[in-house]
Amino acid sequence: MNTGVFYYLESDIDMKQWYIYAKKADFNAIAEKYGISPITARIIRNRDIETDEQIKMFLNGGMGLLNDAKKMKDIDKASDIILTKIEQGKRIRIIGDYDIDGVTSIYLLLRALKRCGAWVDGRIPHRIKDGYGINEALIKEAYDDGVDTIVTCDNGIAAYSQIEYANSLGMTVVVTDHHDIQYKDTETGREYIIPPAAAVVNPKQKDCNYPFEGLCGAAVAWKLIKVIYSKADIPETEWEDFIELVAMATIGDVMDLKDENRIIVKEGLKRIANTKNMGLRALIAVNQLNPMAISAYHIGFVIGPCLNAGGRLDTAYMALELLMSETKEEAESRAGELKALNESRKEMTRQGVNKAVNMIESTTLCDDNVLVIYLPDCHESLAGIIAGRIRETYYKPVLVITDGEEGLKGSGRSIENYNMFEELVKVRDCLDKFGGHPMAAGLSLKKEKLDELREKLNNNSTLTDEDLVEKIWIDIALPFAYATEELIYELKKLEPFGKGNTKPVFATRNVTVIDYRLIGSNRNVLKMMLKDEAGTVMPGICFADAAKLEEKIRSEGNVMSILYYPDINEYNGNKSVQIVVTDFR
């Protein structure tokens, strides 16, 4: 949340509001000290990076600045337990999760423990049949299979009763997780509920001394592997070889790209072109991506969705088997299957979004501040994606509810001023189960409770018209003359961009569109010639809302305010700076 003073620029109740950061610092001094421009110094400050240590880590952080894994609570104990079990020849089972973070976590632990000589295998819960995380059925199956020790990854921190059950069978459980710790409020204060495992490795524990809580599940597992490898005298380079997969999980699980995560992703993306993982290489190839230029965007919107597609529509073992592939032919076959499955997922998502929009526009749902949308035929694994798309369209909290095997199931996505988890707590009498955090939630309920849920959520809502207008934060009001090739290359020092480190946003008023035309096979790109107030003329391009911008120019005139990002256009071997328009008024 921005805490600096802001200036209101322009708004309309049906439009986004633009605000410009006004955070203070000596930008010239920062620029001189770190060899950057005052513009870049201002952007860094807008990301709440203030101290010398933070700036150094942001601009120049490398593997040497990663936090010491041994500071994490129980990590020594967990590594000792696992190594002892390996030495004793005990059977170990890894239990993960069905998304990209869970699959990557289980892959890392399987590879690492096998490298240490373990008798180890893995299980991934089925999204529909098992639900999230470890359960009694998976524990009983492990017990019947002669498993002595269960290691969880990307789950387990909330599995108190399940781990009690495993303990009653004489099994050993080690938890590795990154999710929030459950708690209950008592007369003496808040009491955190830690599962009764032999070791619990999670940096969010209140008595954990690890300095960064924001790791994904795969990164927590990776840290444990580092300690195990150190004690087993396995070269650290082998541990570092996993970093591109940890980077992939960090991006895919939408973690903040701050502090240690920024280093993991930055270093991981550097190494992805030379990854030793055949499955990842095959997935890059089947999607026709350039392995030398993989960005956080490609992971988040191309590779990640392919890896998640198995867990959504079939089984997450498809993604795990891809990562475990040992031949090129095997990897190519599995990558092709996942890409095809993701194409099906995209089409099913498109259909679901269209149904939801039609329902909103043709019923009284459009008057609700909290959208509760019932799509009975929607695949339950797509409910969250569809909720996210509807949230983007209407900028309202959204719950998409669908038919499950035992009643209704749903997923929600929220907006800045609506804490979805707390609002669901207020209507818990309508729900069978629920969980989540301020921006997202999952739930199940009986069908007869659906209308009551919608009514109560909307009656309880305190959202105002202003809350329902998306806020866009502008880094700098920047005339075109400053958008130089030198600045563009300097801005690359701020990459990778993503959650917690958004791409810079620049603005300028009274831009004149001198010339324009729609281009592309679908006429969905607007190419322009733009002139700012100072008279600087630059080529411009608009990818998002190109048709809407073209209509605005024709119907309302050719002078407007714009948000933009400068970029390099390369054509026929020639390079030139262009203005990429991202929003307009």
Evaluate whether residue 278 is within a structural domain. no
What pLDDT is recorded for position 12?
Answer: 42
- Give the mean model confidence (pLDDT) for residues 390-395: 94
CA distances from 162 to 106, 293, 443 (A): 19, 44, 20
Instruction: Compute the average pLDDT of residues 365-377.
Output: 95
Looking at the structure, tell me whether residues 397 and 514 fall in a common domain. no
In degrees and rounded to multiples of 5, residue 21 shows phi and psi of: -60, 145
Is the predicted pLDDT of residue 437 greater than 80, yes or no?
no
CATH of residue 38's domain is 2.40.50.460
Residues 155 and 21 in one domain: no
- CATH number of the domain that residue 450 is part of: 3.10.310.30
| End residue of a domain, out of 172, 203, 236 | 236
Q: Which residue has the higher pLDDT, 343 or 15?
A: 343
175, 206, 236: which is the final residue of a domain?
236
Judge contact between 347 and 429, C-beta under 8 A. Answer: no
Q: 496 preceded by cis ω (within 30°)?
A: yes
Predicted confidence (pLDDT) at residue 11 exceeds the cutoff of 50? no
What is the residue whose two structure tokens read 């563009």? 488
Question: Is pLDDT at 404 greater than 90 in this prediction?
Answer: no
The mean predicted confidence, pLDDT, of the chain is 92
The residue whose two tokens read 């939408």 is: 254
Given a cut of 60, whether residue 353 has pLDDT beyond it is yes
Give SS3 for 388: helix
The per-residue pLDDT for 14 is: 46
Percent of the chain, pLDDT > 90?
83
Q: Is 132:155 a contact under the CB 8 Å cutoff?
A: yes
Residue 534 and residue 477 in one domain: yes
* End position of a domain, from candidates 194, 215, 236: 236
pLDDT per residue over 320-341, tens digit each?
999 999 999 999 999 999 999 9
- Quote the pLDDT of residue 29: 95
pLDDT-derived band at 431, boundaries 50, 70, 90: very high
The answer to whether 474 and 20 have CB atoms below 8 angstroms apart is: yes
Cα of 131 vs its chain's centroid, Å = 20
Return the pLDDT at 2: 38
Lowest mean pLDDT among 127-136, 363-372, 395-404: 127-136
**What are 278-308's pLDDT values in tens digits?**
999 999 999 999 999 999 999 999 999 999 9
> In this predicted structure, what is the pLDDT of residue 574?
85
pLDDT at 15: 62
Identify the CA nearest to 216 among candidates 130, 304, 277, 150: 304
Read off the tokens for 420. 């979805």
Confidence band, pLDDT 50/70/90 cuts, at residue 129: confident
**Domain check: are 413 and 517 in the same one?**
no
Overall average pLDDT of the 524-534 stretch = 95
Alpha-carbon distance 175 to 289, whole Å? Answer: 36
The structural domain count of the chain equals 3
Is the same domain home to 207 and 74? yes
Residues 192 and 92 in one domain: yes
381 is in which domain, residue-wise?
370-460
